[in-house]
Every structure is written in structure tokens, then in C-alpha cells.
């Protein structure tokens, strides 16, 4: 897919999937905790873990989580999976945010993108994807976070020669205007959930199939044969 096709495709997807900003009513720290919880699990299980954690501590703040025990956090976030790995990370992150930045993640996010990204990456359990989600969703930094849906779809569109996170992110950022990165990130995820699924993508219903490399390679011939037959 070339740049023009990508821009055409993204305009179509943006129109089809209105932006659903899941982070709209959350604090930056809640977004960070939610993103750590979302690692290796489904959205539904992450949400359940977050809700249960909120019930257990009252409000998800650095001071409350730093004061909680690993065991208590693990019990609360059980539905999000890997609770015994995630709980100590979340507690350690809370302690660091408290000690280093006075509990104000907002201050970290007010820095230029590269510096804010470095600060987030210094936290335990925070890799490039988690850092980029927090930057984009909590403070509208012009990053393009890459999750499993986006990585799969970028490969299907032939956007990145390799499957590494940074290669895909840079490919998407190169062609996406900074002001559109968050909206297009969310639109591709929605497309991955609804139509462009990992197994058996629903190409026959897909509005962007004329520009899709994967469709041209794998399905277009089949369709023409079926029509003739």
C-alpha cells in the first residue's frame, strides 16, 4: 500500500468507526494502570480488573496503590490475568510516581514527547507500547501506539518490512498527520476487532479492500473464480 492508498484507507476507516475514547474520564495515572493491566489479556478482563481494583482501594491514585500490599492488589486484579506479575509492578510504579514526581504523572506528560517517553519507559512493566498508549491517550502526544491488531493490519497492508514494534510505529507515524494519530490508532483497532480479525478476516464486508495488499494477494483471485463459476 502506498501513501495515497493509506490516506484513502484511513479516511474510510475513520468515517466508519467514530472515535471511542476509552480514556476520556480517566486520570493519567489510571490510564497507566489500565494499560499495564491490559497486557496479555482482553479488554473485558482488563476492565473488570480495573473496576475491582477501584472498588478495593477507593480511588486509583499513586498514594493509595503504594500503600496497598502486593497480595491485595493481586486479589483485586485477578480477572486481568498474570496478577502475581502485574500487582508488584503496579505497586512499584505507584511508589516511583510518588517518590520521583510527587504523585503527579501529569507533570511527566507535560514534557516534550521524547522526554516524557523516556521517563515512562524507566518504570517497571512499561515497554514502548504501554508508554505510547499513555502518551497518546492521557496527553494527546503525537505517538502511534501499536497493539496486536495494528501490527497484524500493518503487515496485511504491507506497511512495514519487519514486525518489530518500532518499525511499525515509525511506518505509521511517517504517513499519519500528528493530529490524526490517536484517532487512526483507535480506528485501526476497531477495524481489527470488527472485520480484520486475526483468523478469517471478513474481507467481503470490508470498505478498504480495494487498497489492501493482503486481499489482493489472497482473496481477489478466489472471488473472481467464484463469480465465474
209 binds ligand SF4 (CB under 6 A): yes
From 61-69, 78-86, 164-172, 193-201, give the range in contact with ligand SF4 by CB under 6 A. 193-201
Closest to ligand SF4 by CB, 84 vs 223, is: 223
Pairwise CA distance, residues 210 & 132, whole Å? 30
Q: Which range of residues in 31-39, 59-67, 136-144, 205-213 is near ligand SF4 by CB under 6 A?
A: 205-213
DSSP one-letter code for 164 = -
Candidates 23-31, 75-83, 104-112, 197-205: pick the segment binding ligand SF4 (CB under 6 A): 197-205
Cα–Cα nearest to 108, from 23, 24, 25, 28:
28
Q: How far apart are CA 191 and CA 174, in angstroms?
A: 21
CB of 214 to ligand SF4, least distance (A): 4
**Least distance (Å) from ligand SF4 to the CB of residue 208?**
5
Work out the end-to-end distance of the chain between its first and last CA atoms, rounded to an integer number of angstroms.
Answer: 30
Phi, psi for residue 35 in degrees, rounded to 5: -70, -35
CA distance 56 to 77: 9
CA distance 86 to 144: 24
Report helix angle 148-156 to 165-175, nearest 10. 70
Q: Contact at 8 Å (CB) between 73 and 91?
A: yes
Cβ at position 196, least distance to ligand SF4 in Å: 3
Q: How far is the CB of 10 from ligand SF4 (least distance, A)?
A: 11
- Judged by CB under 6 A, does residue 201 bind ligand SF4? yes
Work out whether 212 is an interface residue with ligand SF4 (CB under 6 A).
Answer: yes
* Contact call for residues 99 and 117 (beta carbons, < 8 A): no
Contact range with ligand SF4 by CB under 6 A, out of 61-69, 84-92, 173-181, 195-203: 195-203
Rounded to the nearest whole angstrom, what is the least distance from the CB of residue 63 to ligand SF4 in the complex? 45
Report the nearest approach of ligand SF4 to the CB of residue 94 (Å).
Answer: 39
Coil, strand or helix at 189:
helix
Q: Which is closer to ligand SF4, CB of 106 or CB of 204?
A: 204
Q: Which of 92, 115, 203, 221 binds ligand SF4 (CB under 6 A)?
A: 203
User: How far out from the chain centre does Cα 136 lie?
Assistant: 9
Residues that bind ligand SF4 (CB under 6 A): 156, 195-196, 201-203, 206, 208-209, 212, 214-215
Amino acid at each position: 500500500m502506498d501513501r495515497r492508498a493509506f490516506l484513502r484507507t484511513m479516511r474510510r476507516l475513520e468515517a466508519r468507526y467514530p472515535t471511542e475514547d476509552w480514556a476520556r474520564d480517566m486520570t493519567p495515572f489510571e490510564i497507566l494502570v489500565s494499560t499495564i493491566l491490559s497486557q496479555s489479556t482482553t479488554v473485558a478482563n482488563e476492565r473488570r480488573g480495573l473496576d475491582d481494583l477501584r472498588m478495593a482501594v477507593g480511588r486509583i491514585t499513586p498514594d493509595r496503590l503504594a500503600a496497598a500490599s502486593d497480595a491485595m492488589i493481586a486479589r483485586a486484579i485477578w480477572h486481568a490475568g498474570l496478577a502475581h506479575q502485574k500487582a508488584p509492578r503496579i505497586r512499584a510504579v505507584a511508589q516511583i510516581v510518588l517518590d520521583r514526581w510527587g504523585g503527579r504523572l501529569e507533570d511527566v506528560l507535560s514534557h516534550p514527547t521524547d522526554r516524557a517517553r523516556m521517563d515512562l519507559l524507566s518504570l517497571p512493566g512499561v515497554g514502548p507500547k504501554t508508554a505510547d498508549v499513555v502518551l497518546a491517550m492521557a496527553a494527546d502526544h503525537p505517538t502511534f501506539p501499536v497493539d496486536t491488531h495494528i501490527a497484524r493490519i500493518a503487515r496485511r497492508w504491507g506497511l512495514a518490512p519487519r514486525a518489530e514494534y518500532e518499525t511499525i510505529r515509525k511506518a505509521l507515524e511517517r504517513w499519519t498527520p500528528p493530529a490524526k494519530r490517536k484517532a487512526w490508532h483507535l480506528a485501526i483497532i476497531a477495524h481489527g476487532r470488527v472485520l480484520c480479525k486475526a483468523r478469517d478476516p471478513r474481507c467481503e464486508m470490508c470498505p478498504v479492500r480495494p487498497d489492501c495488499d493482503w486481499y489482493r494477494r489472497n482473496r481477489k483471485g478466489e472471488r473472481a473464480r467464484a463469480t465465474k463459476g
